[in-house]
Amino acid sequence: MCGIVGAIGERNVTDVLIEGLRRLEYRGYDSAGLAVVDQGAVVRERQPGKVQALADAAHAADVHGRLGIAHTRWATHGAPTQCNAHPHMSGDIAVVHNGIIENYESLRERLQGEGYVFTSQTDTEVVAHLIQSELKQGGDYFQAVRRAVAQLHGAFALGIVRACEPDRLLAVRQGSPLVVGLGIGENFISSDQLALLPVTNRFIYLEEGDFIELARNRVSIWNAAGEPVRRPAVELDATLHASSKGGYKHYMLKEIYEQPAAVQRTLNGRISDGRVAVDAFGPQAAELLAKARHIQILACGTSYHAGYVAKYWFEAIAGVSCHVEVASEFRYRTTVLPADTLIVTISQSGETADTLAALREVKARALGALCICNVPTSTLVRESDLAFITHAGPEIGVASTKAFTTQLVALMLLVLATGRRQGTLSAERERDIVQQLGTLPALLDGVLALDKDIERIAEEFGEKHHTLFLGRGAQYPVAMEGALKLKEISYIHAEAYPAGELKHGPLALVDNDMPVVAVAPKNDLIDKLKSNLQEVRARAGVLYVFADHAADVRPEAGIKVFPMPSVADEVAPIVYTVPLQLLSYHVAVIKGTDVDQPRNLAKSVTVE
Ligand code: AGP
């Protein structure tokens, strides 16, 4: 999704801006641009395509200056062309913008009436002209920007520079992420702190509605009410954020292989005496978990699939009713919450616009809000009553992998803690499941050893246009996650079904050109699932089955079986996720797609 970097310093900031944009590339974008203030003029470069094209153009033109803003754009309003790339300008004003200006059409009409000429199809260009229009009404630059921002509706973050103001970078955070990075004699803004790690590890996390003025030696902040405020600076352990491919061909593969260690980190410090540590979810958790009569999980994409697995666990293990819904639907429908509902949001980034909006909509009606998140400094963590940090480490590949498996571990810990507080789970069963969780790193290592076998069969998917994924019980959301992985990085259409639904429609799709992937651990439903697989085989569908020895799925013509380790039913979804990640990865490599930055997608979806 779009990214912002801004800098003011004593040195030429062009390289800081470009390096910052490079670090935001993983989020997904389709054009890039920058503007620096140099000797009373704004110098702008914009390029469709990769940041490298922008870097080449900026260096060829010797763009330099001590104040600048830069942007990677993920097209929403208008195609990914040079004209639509940010920064957008009006006279001597340049603006970069993340988010959406909802009232841009009426503002555009009004500004066109005032004689402003638009050169892009974006909603952003109105901001530049609106500031210019306000400047013409009189008053100083700062007040003009404030008046302009007050007229904008929607969720946005802005960075603004002006040719005749070489000592000020103005910025606004209103619904889209923005942080301030603090340097010595230089200061920065970015939509993602990762962009600024080469230049600082000290950050100020802004609140909604904050208005910021950066000078070289000063950061001034006003809150939504216009009052000057001080926000604390936080120092990050930069080593935690090291992000390189470490010898792997893609971040996604590296992150798949990091899962044994990531899962171990999620468990570290959360287990005490063979049970979930009392304060693993924070000091007030004990009371909230004891009182909760219902759990409402809200999330998007992969995080939603993690929540879907947890729904099975909450009801089967903790005996607490649980609903799960995609946040983009929940936020806009009229919802009835059962009394004493605990909201559980799940998000890798903690910045997903729909998840945040759903939380804000429901929070006042709920018993409390707990989030499971990978980014401790995120908006979601700050706006929740309780937060559990997964410690997966930075996830750069757009396709979520280690974020998902660590979310599942976190959710299982939450289920156990809830069962204990509700008195519905025996200490013995809790210890047994905790012990199973402890075996996960070794089990995942075992599954990763299947990599070469999976790579070999991936060839068979390369020419296919559709694939079905089947599972039953808590393995159904694992199948959903497998289908999402395949479609997002290999662009092969993939659907997941609970296998019992096959004969209610999707069986009509099955023929010898339709690969069908099934996750089939030995459990109470294995015989039912095997009957469903026979239904596929009888229609000449080709089956790829991940099954353990006890499941007793026999390989034969048209049925390939991948031997999975024996694993307890409760943690099987975590283990069976990994071969599906590997499958989609190898299919994407064979198809030659952009594995880490698949087309049209963004890592962190900060607009709805
Ligand atoms: C899946 O691989 C994607 N990365 C996507 O579905 C993602 O899970 C979704 O956008 C939610 O993101 P979040 O976990 O950061 O909230």
Ramachandran region, residue 284 (left: φ > 0; alpha: ψ -120 to 50; beta: rest)? alpha
**Residue pair 195/5 in contact by the 8 Å Cβ criterion:** yes
What domains does the chain contain, in order, with CATH numbers?
3-235 (3.60.20.10), 248-425 (3.40.50.10490), 445-598 (3.40.50.10490)
In the reported structure, the alpha carbon of residue 300 is separated from the centroid of ligand 1 by a whole-number distance in angstroms of: 6
Retrieve residue 303's tokens.
């995080």
In the residue annotation, 83 being an active-site residue is answered as no
Does residue 396 have a pLDDT over 70?
Answer: yes
pLDDT averaged over every residue in the chain: 94
Can you spell out the DSSP letters for 235-251? E--GGGG----TT-SSH
pLDDT range class, residue 246, cuts 50, 70, 90:
confident
Mean pLDDT of 310-337: 97
CA distance 109 to 377: 39
In the reported structure, the alpha carbon of residue 549 is separated from the centroid of ligand 1 by a whole-number distance in angstroms of: 33
CA distances from 281 to 45, 387, 495 (A): 47, 7, 35
Question: Which of 191, 194, 303 has the most ligand 1 atoms within 8 A of CB, as the residue to mutate?
Answer: 303
CB of 400 within 6 A of ligand 1: the answer is yes
In the reported structure, the alpha carbon of residue 401 is separated from the centroid of ligand 1 by a whole-number distance in angstroms of: 10
CB of 399 within 6 A of ligand 1: the answer is yes
Instruction: Dihedral sign for Cα 245, 246, 249, 252, please.
Output: negative
> Which residue's structure tokens are 């979520």?
400
Question: Which of 194, 251, 302, 326 has the most ligand 1 atoms within 8 A of CB, as the residue to mutate?
Answer: 302
In the reported structure, the alpha carbon of residue 556 is separated from the centroid of ligand 1 by a whole-number distance in angstroms of: 37
Does residue 240 have a pLDDT over 80?
Answer: no
| Predicted local confidence at residue 195, as pLDDT | 93
Does residue 121 have a pLDDT over 60?
Answer: yes
In the residue annotation, 2 being an active-site residue is answered as yes
Among protein residues, the one with the nearest Cα to ligand 1's atom 8 is: 302
| Predicted local confidence at residue 238, as pLDDT | 52
Mean pLDDT of 78-95: 94
CB of 300 within 6 A of ligand 1: the answer is yes
Question: Which of 344, 352, 356 has the most ligand 1 atoms within 8 A of CB, as the residue to mutate?
Answer: 352
Among protein residues, the one with the nearest Cα to ligand 1's atom 6 is: 301
CA distance 343 to 370: 6
CB of 405 within 6 A of ligand 1: the answer is no
Among protein residues, the one with the nearest Cα to ligand 1's atom 2 is: 399
What ranges make up the beta strands (E) of 163-293? 169-174, 179-182, 187-190, 202-205, 210-214, 219-222, 228-229, 233-235, 271-272, 275-276
CA distance 472 to 478: 9
| Predicted local confidence at residue 354, as pLDDT | 94
CB of 374 within 6 A of ligand 1: the answer is no
| Predicted local confidence at residue 525, as pLDDT | 94
CB of 605 within 6 A of ligand 1: the answer is yes
CA distance 373 to 74: 24
What is the enclosing helix (H) or strand (E) of 546? strand 542-548
Retrieve residue 277's tokens.
């540590």
Share of the chain above pLDDT 90, in %: 85
- Active site residue: 2, 300, 322, 373, which one? 2
CB of 356 within 6 A of ligand 1: the answer is no
- What are the φ and ψ backbone dihedral angles of 545, each rounded to 5 degrees? -115, 125
At a CB cut-off of 8 Å and minimum separation 6, what does 527 contact? none
In the reported structure, the alpha carbon of residue 303 is separated from the centroid of ligand 1 by a whole-number distance in angstroms of: 6
- What are 397-414's pLDDT values in tens digits? 999 999 999 999 999 999
CA distance 256 to 582: 8
Mean pLDDT of 21-39: 91
CA distance 493 to 317: 34
Coil, helix or strand for 34? Answer: strand
Mean pLDDT of 1-9: 92
**Residue pair 171/160 in contact by the 8 Å Cβ criterion:** yes
In the reported structure, the alpha carbon of residue 226 is separated from the centroid of ligand 1 by a whole-number distance in angstroms of: 34
Which atom of ligand 1 is nearest the CA belonging to 407? 14
In the reported structure, the alpha carbon of residue 306 is separated from the centroid of ligand 1 by a whole-number distance in angstroms of: 11
Retrieve residue 231's tokens.
């926000």
Among protein residues, the one with the nearest Cα to ligand 1's atom 16 is: 347
Share of the chain above pLDDT 70, in %: 99
Instruction: Dihedral sign for Cα 121, 327, 393, 284, please.
Output: positive
Does residue 422 have a pLDDT over 60?
Answer: yes
